[in-house]
Structure 1
Amino acid sequence: MIPLGKLRGLKRLCDADGHFAMVALDQRPPLQAAIAKAKGVAASEVTFADMLLAKRLMVKALAADASSMLFDPNFAIPAAYDQLPAKTGLIVTLEEHRFEETATGRKSRSIDNWSVEKIRRMGADAVKVLAWYRPDASPDVVAHQQAYVRTVGAECRRHDIPYVLELLVYPFPGAANHTTDYVEMADKRSELVIDSVREFAKPEYGVDLLKLETPVPGASLPDEMDSAEGKAAAEAFAAVGGICREAGVPWVMLSGGVKPEQFERVLRYSYAAGARGFLAGRTIWLDAIQSAFPNEEKVLAALRGDGLSRLRSMAKLTREVAEPWDFTLDRAPFGREGDLAALYA
């Protein structure tokens, strides 16, 4: 089958030049924590209305400058589906943020009553799944995660919609830095990230775009890429880039909530290795929510100030440094009228 839907969907996610400058708004516990901090309440006291308001304000302030946005179905879509500009692509989350935590690793699942078919039917341009993954988890956990990612890939092929896969390494229960949210590990091992990418870049998973964390802790990346430390870090990024290049799978960077200046360093290293852009969230909008919510005017002012400035700075760097993504349709199979209709199964 010629994947016309996947190719068109990927073009919808990037800008006119083929760069991915995408904003993630599918966060659930991290946004609840930010709202709770701003209001001085427990996370359990954050209401559904609070979540909708925060996401609606972020779309209102940032959507026009994003090549696409990542929404979740439980909050972002009810909050701002009608606020997303026609020119801005839409990625929709499939996975439930409440994963199963076992002693030997995490198991992912989809949101109840949600599916690839529904995401395609509602008009989204791509499906996104976050898979918590460690190659050194127990065999049953590794098998579960691989099977879940593979099953979603088959559904995305069936519905001819792009599959965006986010991979995150995590600490095991009992580790000193254990948390159920994503907080980048200061002692992160590059090989865990690299080996995860190597696994899921395989064609059997059907992934069309990888959303990846830095293989080296973002906070410790040196400014100078030609220093000894910089060269060592660049080698880790190059390993990721080499795997993706060989597999023919484009990749973008997630921000993981690091400081803007740290994320720009991450982008420079990743672009040197072949990344095509970013899909960032908290680095862009977290400060605005924590400092001003629920005051709508102040939140919008902060988002349109520092938030928009950060997004534009990242997008500018991407246009200047990153290699754009594009595709050319192979016309060889089409020799006469009716061939495309017959071949598009």
Structure 2
Amino acid sequence: MPPRRRPQRNPHHQRVSCIHEDEAMRTIGKNRGLARLADADGHFRIVALDQRPPLFDAIAKAKGITRDQVEYSDVTAAKRLLVENLAPHCSSMLFDPNFAVPAAIDLLPPRCGLIMTLEEHRVEETAGGRKSRAITNWSVDKIRAMGGDAVKVLAWYRPDADAAVNEHQKKFVREIGEGCARHDIPYVLELLVYPFLGSANHTADYVESPGKLPALVIDSVREFAKPEYNVDLLKLESPLAANSLPARDGSAEAKAAQKEFDAIGDICRARNIPWVLLSGGAAPEKFERVLDYSYAAGASGFLAGRTIWLDAVLKNFPDRAAVAASLRKDGLNVLDRLSELTTAKGTQWKARYPGFTDIKQEGDFARAY
């Protein structure tokens, strides 16, 4: 006898007659999921540990071996240390299914939100740009079934890439968004500009693209903020290189830089999409500067990884006790500073639930939903 299929919720259930909402409101499931990702004040203070190549490289460098020689057990051991020492101090964490979940799902505190990544870190590089795909045997419905609070996808994207490549990326993002809407789970979309294959600055690593232009970042946000993608939280890079960002001191240079961040804020505000900043491995003081500009433009938090924990792994692995000690001292110091800045200057996200003015009697809501 074939296995029973899990019933699918109507993907347009939020528009049924008994439940009224406008563009500024989200469904109950998406609101509840986003609330799980934020702290009590509505700030997103999220630690990322879904990284795969960056962590492989850190372990390889620490052990004096090549990336190909890094063992699965080393990766899971490192991720377990990160969860054990950082999870009690953030609002939520970003896990991957192949390493982080088996390594440390038992250590994630009940109050800490769980975001699950969906994209495969291995991409298809073409002369016209990068094509993304999902992790094999992984899906939105599996993330919802395991109790994930949100689905995260990284889409490498350049508006000036080959048209066929960009159509592939748009379809990839759109179809996952449709799945998230069907399962009523928040969709966290990460956008990253990348260097073209064959260019002088080409690298497949997860680093800030040296040739990045603000327009590439801003136009990418403009595209994926469209309602058709069903995005609920954007994880964005700085529109300007973190290492060259001037101090936010009121100078003409600082005001010009602020306009680039404000352009992102205006797009997200118009679409009612909260946004957070990724660290891209920037030095803590550089990332704090990025956050300062971003919070002035309306950002609601950070989703950072290497800026918080990379040094602990690079300098101490495989000495687990030393890694843990470094995380508790230096890692938490960085995380605390980022959290304090976020609480002081970040925009608070607040749930806006649909109204139930037409719910008049028992059974109306269950029938409508």
TM-score bracket for this pair, using the shorter chain length = over 0.9
Structure 2 distance, partners of 1:163, 1:223, is 33
User: Among 172, 196, 214, which residue is 2:196 paired with?
Assistant: 172
**Which residue in 1 is equivalent to 2:84?**
60
Q: Which of 314, 337, 352 is the aligned partner of 1:313?
A: 337
Which one scores higher on RCO, CA 8 angstroms, separation ≥ 6? 2
Q: Secondary structure at the match of 1:336?
A: coil
Is the 1:131–1:167 Cα contact (8 Å) retained in structure 2? yes
CA separation in 1, counterparts of 2:133 and 2:220?
18
Task: Give, in angstroms, the shift of residue 341 of structure 1.
Answer: 1.4
Partner of 2:40: 16
Match for 1:318: what amino acid?
T
- Match for residue 272 of structure 2 among 248, 269, 277: 248
CA contact (8 A) 1:225 1:234 kept: no
Pairing 1:157-196 to 2, within 5 Å after superposition: 157-196=181-220
Report the AA paired with residue 273 of structure 1.
A
Q: What is the TM-score normalised by the length of structure 2?
A: 0.92
Q: Match for 2:366 among 332, 336, 341?
A: 341
The one-character-per-residue Cα deviations of 1:182-221 (angstroms, maximum 9, x if unpaired) are 2112332000000000000000000000000000101111
DSSP-derived class of the 1:176 partner? coil
Mapped to 2, the partners of 1:246 and 1:124 lie a distance apart of: 28
2:99 pairs with 1:75: yes
Verify: 1:133 aligned to 2:174, yes or no. no
Q: Where do residues 41-120 of structure 1 align in structure 2 (5 Å cutoff)?
A: 41-120=65-144
Q: 4+ residue stretches of structure 1 with deviation over 4 A? A: none
Equivalent-residue separation in structure 2 for 1:294 and 1:304 (angstroms): 16
1:21-62 deviation per Cα after TM superposition (whole angstroms, max 9, x unaligned):
000000000000000010011111100000000000000000
Question: For 1:164 and 1:101, how far apart are their aligned partners in 2?
Answer: 24
Amino acid at match of 1:265: R
* Aligned with residue 257 of structure 1, among 269, 276, 281: 281
Matched-pair contact (CA < 8 Å) for 1:63–1:69: yes
Aligned residue number for residue 229 of structure 1: 253
Paired residues, number: 344
Take 2:349 and 2:174, find their aligned partners in 1: how far apart are those partners? 24
- Structure 1 range deviating more: 224-233 or 303-312: 224-233
Whole-Å Cα distance in 2 between the matches of residues 77 and 318 of structure 1? 28
Distance 1:324 1:308 in 2: 23
Shift of 1:174: 1.4
- Residue 333 of structure 1 contacts residue 339 of structure 1 at CA under 8 Å; is this kept in 2? no
Deviation at 1:233, TM superposition (A): 0.8
Question: Is residue 28 of structure 1 aligned with residue 52 of structure 2?
Answer: yes
Q: Is the contact made by 1:334 and 1:340 (CA closer than 8 Å) also made in structure 2?
A: no
User: Counterpart in 1 of 2:170?
Assistant: 146
Is 2:248–2:293's contact at 8 Å kept on the other side of the alignment?
no
Which deviations, in whole Å up to 9, do the C-alpha atoms of 1:268-321 show, x marking residues without a partner?
A: 000000000000000000000000001111000000011011011101110011
The one-letter code of the counterpart of 1:216 is L
Does structure 2 retain, via aligned residues, the 8 Å contact 1:108–1:131? Answer: yes
Deviation (angstroms), 1:10: 0.2
**Aligned partners of 1:187 and 1:217 also within 8 Å:** no
For 1:8, what is the secondary structure of its paired residue?
helix
Q: Give the unaligned 5+ runs of structure 2.
A: 1-12, 15-26
**Distance verdict in 2 for CA 1:41–1:6, change over 3 Å:** same
Where does residue 317 of structure 2 map in the other structure? 293
**CA displacement at 1:329 relative to structure 2:** 2.0
Deviation at 1:16, TM superposition (A): 0.6
Partner secondary structure for residue 292 of structure 2 = helix
Stretches of structure 1 that go unaligned for 5 or more consecutive residues are: none
Corresponding letter in the other structure for 1:53:
A
Choose which of 224, 227, 243 in structure 2 pairs with 1:200: 224
Partner Cα separation in structure 2 for residue 26 and residue 236 of structure 1: 28
Q: How far did residue 334 of structure 1 move?
A: 4.3
Given that 2:195 and 2:211 are in contact with CA atoms closer than 8 Å, whether structure 1 keeps it comes out as: no
Pick from 297, 300, 306: which aligns with 1:276? 300
Cα separation, 1, equivalents of 2:327 and 2:188: 26
SS at match of 1:187: coil
Match of 1:215 in 2: 239
Classify the secondary structure of the residue corresponding to 1:123: coil
CA distance, structure 2, for counterparts of residue 340 and residue 152 of structure 1: 27
| Cα RMSD after superposing both structures | 0.9
CA distance in 1, matches of 2:336, 2:367: 44
